[in-house]
């Protein structure tokens, strides 16, 4: 992992930790097993992708980030 990327993850983990964990499709499936086990057989984890989104940062400028998309 690139050191700058690691620093960014650590600094923003409180805000983006869950999104970071859900970038991995297997983590999404594990979460669904806990909260909605009935639908897990309907999910094809190989078809899950992340979608890049934009939000406004504290300075008011656009910040690009990846949101898990199920």
Render each residue's pLDDT in the chain as its tens digit; 70 residues: 567 877 877 887 777 788 778 888 888 899 999 999 999 999 887 888 877 665 555 565 556 555 554 4
Residue 35: what pLDDT?
Answer: 93
Residue 36: what pLDDT?
Answer: 92
Contact of 42 with 29, CB cutoff 8 Å? no
List the domain boundaries for the chain. 3-69
The pTM (predicted TM-score) of the whole model is 0.55
Residue 68: what pLDDT?
Answer: 52
Q: Which two tokens stand for residue 11?
A: 């600094």
Judged on CB neighbours under 10 Å (0-12, 13-18, 19+), 31 is middle
Alpha-carbon distance of 56 to 37, in angstroms, equals: 35
Alpha-carbon distance of 15 to 46, in angstroms, equals: 27
């Amino acid at each position: 992992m690139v050191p700058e990327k690691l620093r960014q993850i650590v600094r923003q983990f409180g805000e983006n930790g869950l999104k970071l964990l859900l970038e991995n499709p297997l983590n999404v499936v594990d979460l669904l097993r806990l909260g909605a086990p009935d639908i897990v057989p309907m999910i094809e984890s190989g078809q899950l992708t992340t979608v890049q989104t934009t939000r406004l940062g504290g300075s008011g400028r656009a910040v690009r980030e990846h949101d898990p998309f199920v």
